[in-house]
Amino acid sequence: MKRHIVFVFSILAIIVLTDLGSAMKFNQLTPEEERVIVHRGTERPFTGRFLSHKEAGTYTCRRCGAELYRSTDKFESGCGWPSFDDEIKGAVTRKPDPDGQRVEIVCTACGGHLGHVFTGEGFTAKNTRHCVNSVSLDFIPAAGKETSTAIFAGGCFWGVEHLMKKAPGVISVKSGYTGGRTENPDYKSVCSGMTGHLEAVEVVFDPSQTSFADLARLFFEIHDFTQTDGQGPDIGEQYKSAIFVADDEQREATRKIIEQLRGMGYEVATEIKPAARFWPAEAYHQNYYEKTGKAPYCHIRKKIF
């Protein structure tokens, strides 16, 4: 009888654990995100999209969505990764790092790797620095803060990203791939011309400070929209000019600008495409010109409007 009861409780325990495991839904990760979050990797310094991010809001776990850090606790440390001197209570767990020297920090909810925590450095009054990988994070703007997104493809994403960042009202710009036939594309596969993806940038902006139309006009001014086979010396399908519109409003705004350009005598090669999934490019492509100190070689702003 006792054995029967133990057996029943064992089955019930397995069912409960299975239900709990299936209840937590994880976001699909890119190979780079999985390398860092699941396999405890580290993104290259000065490459993360949240390194210089200053918008008010909450940083969440990229894997499970749990709230981790508030923007009010973020500070500039110069270390090359986003830094926070405090976490949301109970959201981050500290554990000894396998190297035996550092302290690892993980998301309490899902165990995803975030980075490491250091104390005694004197950066802030709290004397604590959470050194976090950008790819381990997502971001939710503060309540009432509306943001919009635009996706532009205008040749090598390095130059487009670099110049878009300078526009008023732009919150963040990320280089990546979109519009193709395959999932999880990487630079090598996109350059082969076999995936159908274009190099593009995802621009997050504050619509109270700028508009999609303003950014679209800037996009046309920073690349040669008359070139059909690439951009400057970069030839290939992945370098073609296109705007990926998210809705009818963006489509109509793009159409009107192209009509205006054609009325000015330009032969516009830029395509209007429906927005598709945007795949972030490898970490070494992000903030390329800031990291290298170089200047764009085929993207220079030419005033048109």
Amino acid present at 275:
A
Distances (CA, A) of 43 to 78, 109, 135, 250: 15, 22, 8, 34
Structure tokens at 261: 């350009």
Contact 286, 174 (CB under 8 A): yes
Q: Judge contact between 133 and 114, C-beta under 8 A.
A: yes
How far is it, in rounded angstroms, from Cα 103 to Cα 87? 15
Beta carbons of 180 and 197 less than 8 angstroms apart? yes
* Beta-strand pair 137-141/92-96: unpaired
Contact 283, 48 (CB under 8 A): yes
Beta carbons of 80 and 169 less than 8 angstroms apart:
no
- For residue 96, count other CB atoms closer than 10 A to its CB: 10
Catalytic residues: 131, 156
Cα gap 84→137, rounded to integer Å? 13
